[in-house]
Structure 1
Amino acid sequence: MENNLPVNIREYQELAKKALPKMHYDYINGGAEDEHTLRDNIAAYGRILLRPRVLVDVSNIDMSTNLLGYDMPSPIIVAPTGSHKLANPEGEVATARAAASCNTLMVGVN
Protein backbone atom coordinates (compact mmCIF):
# COMPACT_ATOMS: atom_id res chain seq x y z
CA MET A 1 0.00 0.00 0.00
CA GLU A 2 1.72 3.11 -1.22
CA ASN A 3 1.14 6.10 1.08
CA ASN A 4 -1.09 3.82 3.22
CA LEU A 5 -3.95 4.27 0.75
CA PRO A 6 -5.63 1.01 -0.28
CA VAL A 7 -6.14 0.51 -4.01
CA ASN A 8 -7.69 -2.95 -4.22
CA ILE A 9 -9.94 -5.27 -2.25
CA ARG A 10 -7.06 -7.25 -0.74
CA GLU A 11 -5.53 -4.09 0.71
CA TYR A 12 -8.91 -3.06 2.18
CA GLN A 13 -9.19 -6.54 3.70
CA GLU A 14 -5.75 -6.15 5.33
CA LEU A 15 -6.79 -2.85 6.89
CA ALA A 16 -10.11 -4.27 8.10
CA LYS A 17 -8.37 -7.27 9.62
CA LYS A 18 -6.11 -4.94 11.62
CA ALA A 19 -8.93 -2.60 12.68
CA LEU A 20 -11.72 -5.03 13.64
CA PRO A 21 -11.99 -7.65 16.35
CA LYS A 22 -11.26 -11.10 14.86
CA MET A 23 -14.84 -12.32 15.35
CA HIS A 24 -16.27 -9.29 13.50
CA TYR A 25 -13.73 -9.51 10.67
CA ASP A 26 -14.35 -13.24 10.19
CA TYR A 27 -18.12 -12.68 10.08
CA ILE A 28 -17.91 -9.85 7.52
CA ASN A 29 -15.25 -11.52 5.38
CA GLY A 30 -16.83 -14.97 5.37
CA GLY A 31 -19.76 -16.61 3.66
CA ALA A 32 -22.63 -18.84 4.70
CA GLU A 33 -22.34 -22.57 5.31
CA ASP A 34 -19.68 -24.11 3.02
CA GLU A 35 -18.97 -20.75 1.34
CA HIS A 36 -19.66 -22.11 -2.19
CA THR A 37 -21.24 -18.84 -3.33
CA LEU A 38 -18.39 -16.82 -1.83
CA ARG A 39 -15.82 -18.86 -3.79
CA ASP A 40 -17.91 -18.62 -6.97
CA ASN A 41 -18.17 -14.83 -6.61
CA ILE A 42 -14.41 -14.48 -6.07
CA ALA A 43 -13.75 -16.65 -9.13
CA ALA A 44 -16.23 -14.66 -11.25
CA TYR A 45 -14.61 -11.34 -10.34
CA GLY A 46 -11.22 -12.91 -11.10
CA ARG A 47 -12.36 -13.56 -14.67
CA ILE A 48 -13.10 -9.86 -15.26
CA LEU A 49 -10.12 -8.40 -17.03
CA LEU A 50 -9.37 -4.75 -17.60
CA ARG A 51 -7.57 -3.91 -20.80
CA PRO A 52 -4.91 -1.32 -20.03
CA ARG A 53 -4.62 1.47 -22.53
CA VAL A 54 -1.45 3.48 -22.68
CA LEU A 55 -0.76 6.82 -24.28
CA VAL A 56 -4.45 7.76 -24.10
CA ASP A 57 -5.45 11.26 -23.05
CA VAL A 58 -7.27 10.90 -19.73
CA SER A 59 -7.32 14.56 -18.76
CA ASN A 60 -11.07 14.94 -19.48
CA ILE A 61 -12.77 11.69 -18.48
CA ASP A 62 -16.43 11.88 -17.51
CA MET A 63 -17.72 8.83 -15.65
CA SER A 64 -21.01 10.45 -14.67
CA THR A 65 -24.22 8.58 -15.25
CA ASN A 66 -27.92 8.72 -14.49
CA LEU A 67 -29.69 5.96 -12.60
CA LEU A 68 -33.45 6.14 -12.29
CA GLY A 69 -33.36 9.91 -12.73
CA TYR A 70 -30.54 10.45 -10.22
CA ASP A 71 -27.36 12.05 -11.60
CA MET A 72 -24.21 10.48 -10.18
CA PRO A 73 -20.51 11.29 -10.70
CA SER A 74 -19.70 7.62 -11.36
CA PRO A 75 -21.54 4.33 -11.86
CA ILE A 76 -20.72 3.19 -8.33
CA ILE A 77 -23.44 2.53 -5.74
CA VAL A 78 -23.44 1.01 -2.25
CA ALA A 79 -25.04 -2.43 -2.38
CA PRO A 80 -27.39 -3.69 0.35
CA THR A 81 -25.42 -5.23 3.18
CA GLY A 82 -25.97 -5.66 6.88
CA SER A 83 -24.20 -5.59 10.22
CA HIS A 84 -22.49 -2.24 9.60
CA LYS A 85 -22.34 -1.66 13.35
CA LEU A 86 -19.68 -4.36 13.55
CA ALA A 87 -17.36 -1.91 11.78
CA ASN A 88 -18.72 1.46 12.95
CA PRO A 89 -20.92 2.38 15.94
CA GLU A 90 -23.23 4.44 13.69
CA GLY A 91 -23.79 1.45 11.40
CA GLU A 92 -25.83 1.94 8.25
CA VAL A 93 -26.34 5.63 9.07
CA ALA A 94 -22.58 6.23 8.68
CA THR A 95 -22.62 4.31 5.38
CA ALA A 96 -25.56 6.36 4.10
CA ARG A 97 -23.77 9.59 5.05
CA ALA A 98 -20.64 8.44 3.24
CA ALA A 99 -22.64 7.58 0.11
CA ALA A 100 -24.39 10.95 0.23
CA SER A 101 -21.08 12.78 0.62
CA CYS A 102 -19.90 11.07 -2.58
CA ASN A 103 -23.18 11.97 -4.33
CA THR A 104 -24.00 8.32 -4.93
CA LEU A 105 -26.81 5.96 -3.97
CA MET A 106 -27.10 3.46 -1.15
CA VAL A 107 -29.50 0.64 -2.00
CA GLY A 108 -31.86 -0.44 0.75
CA VAL A 109 -33.94 -3.55 1.21
CA ASN A 110 -37.43 -3.58 2.69
Structure 2
Amino acid sequence: MENNQETSNSKKKSYTGWILFVIIVIGITLPFHYLPERLMVFPKNELTFSNTIIWEEDVDKLIELYNNASFFEKQTIRQEPLVRKLMEKGIIISETDK
Protein backbone atom coordinates (compact mmCIF):
# COMPACT_ATOMS: atom_id res chain seq x y z
CA MET A 1 0.00 0.00 0.00
CA GLU A 2 2.79 2.39 0.91
CA ASN A 3 4.60 1.62 -2.35
CA ASN A 4 1.55 2.69 -4.38
CA GLN A 5 1.40 5.95 -2.46
CA GLU A 6 5.09 6.63 -3.16
CA THR A 7 4.53 5.93 -6.86
CA SER A 8 1.55 8.28 -6.86
CA ASN A 9 3.58 11.03 -5.18
CA SER A 10 6.39 10.48 -7.65
CA LYS A 11 3.98 10.87 -10.58
CA LYS A 12 2.55 14.05 -9.07
CA LYS A 13 6.04 15.52 -8.73
CA SER A 14 6.80 14.54 -12.31
CA TYR A 15 3.63 16.19 -13.61
CA THR A 16 4.28 19.27 -11.52
CA GLY A 17 7.78 19.49 -12.98
CA TRP A 18 6.45 19.27 -16.54
CA ILE A 19 3.76 21.85 -15.88
CA LEU A 20 6.34 24.20 -14.41
CA PHE A 21 8.60 23.63 -17.42
CA VAL A 22 5.75 24.43 -19.85
CA ILE A 23 4.88 27.61 -17.94
CA ILE A 24 8.51 28.74 -18.04
CA VAL A 25 8.82 28.02 -21.77
CA ILE A 26 5.62 29.94 -22.49
CA GLY A 27 6.80 32.80 -20.31
CA ILE A 28 10.08 32.97 -22.20
CA THR A 29 8.64 32.69 -25.71
CA LEU A 30 5.55 34.89 -25.51
CA PRO A 31 7.18 38.31 -25.22
CA PHE A 32 9.59 37.88 -28.15
CA HIS A 33 9.76 37.42 -31.91
CA TYR A 34 12.36 34.85 -32.94
CA LEU A 35 14.06 34.84 -36.34
CA PRO A 36 16.06 31.60 -36.15
CA GLU A 37 17.58 31.90 -39.63
CA ARG A 38 19.04 35.30 -38.76
CA LEU A 39 19.73 34.45 -35.10
CA MET A 40 17.69 37.44 -33.97
CA VAL A 41 15.31 37.97 -31.08
CA PHE A 42 13.37 41.14 -30.40
CA PRO A 43 10.45 42.06 -28.15
CA LYS A 44 6.81 42.00 -29.20
CA ASN A 45 4.36 44.81 -28.58
CA GLU A 46 1.76 42.36 -27.25
CA LEU A 47 1.91 39.00 -25.51
CA THR A 48 0.53 36.64 -28.15
CA PHE A 49 1.60 33.46 -29.86
CA SER A 50 1.16 35.20 -33.19
CA ASN A 51 4.42 35.51 -35.13
CA THR A 52 6.52 34.15 -32.30
CA ILE A 53 8.80 32.31 -34.71
CA ILE A 54 9.33 34.10 -38.01
CA TRP A 55 10.98 32.20 -40.82
CA GLU A 56 12.58 33.73 -43.89
CA GLU A 57 9.59 32.52 -45.93
CA ASP A 58 7.30 34.62 -43.71
CA VAL A 59 9.43 37.69 -44.33
CA ASP A 60 9.36 37.00 -48.08
CA LYS A 61 5.55 36.71 -47.97
CA LEU A 62 5.29 40.04 -46.15
CA ILE A 63 7.52 41.69 -48.75
CA GLU A 64 5.51 40.19 -51.59
CA LEU A 65 2.25 41.29 -49.97
CA TYR A 66 3.64 44.80 -49.55
CA ASN A 67 4.94 44.98 -53.12
CA ASN A 68 1.59 43.89 -54.56
CA ALA A 69 -0.46 46.24 -52.38
CA SER A 70 -2.03 49.53 -53.37
CA PHE A 71 -0.81 52.80 -51.88
CA PHE A 72 -3.38 52.76 -49.07
CA GLU A 73 -2.77 49.09 -48.33
CA LYS A 74 0.96 49.81 -48.09
CA GLN A 75 0.27 52.51 -45.52
CA THR A 76 -1.77 50.04 -43.49
CA ILE A 77 0.89 47.34 -43.75
CA ARG A 78 3.57 49.79 -42.58
CA GLN A 79 1.53 50.45 -39.43
CA GLU A 80 1.48 46.80 -38.38
CA PRO A 81 3.71 46.27 -35.34
CA LEU A 82 5.58 43.30 -36.83
CA VAL A 83 6.36 45.14 -40.06
CA ARG A 84 7.55 48.18 -38.12
CA LYS A 85 9.85 45.99 -36.01
CA LEU A 86 11.24 44.29 -39.11
CA MET A 87 11.87 47.68 -40.69
CA GLU A 88 13.56 48.97 -37.52
CA LYS A 89 15.87 45.95 -37.52
CA GLY A 90 16.69 46.43 -41.20
CA ILE A 91 15.21 43.10 -42.23
CA ILE A 92 12.69 44.83 -44.48
CA ILE A 93 13.67 48.04 -46.20
CA SER A 94 11.55 50.37 -48.25
CA GLU A 95 12.65 51.66 -51.64
CA THR A 96 12.46 55.16 -50.20
CA ASP A 97 14.87 54.18 -47.40
CA LYS A 98 17.74 53.41 -49.78
- Taking structure 1 as the reference length, the TM-score comes to 0.20
- Taking structure 2 as the reference length, the TM-score comes to 0.21
Structure with more helix by fraction: 2
Higher-Rg member (1/2): 2
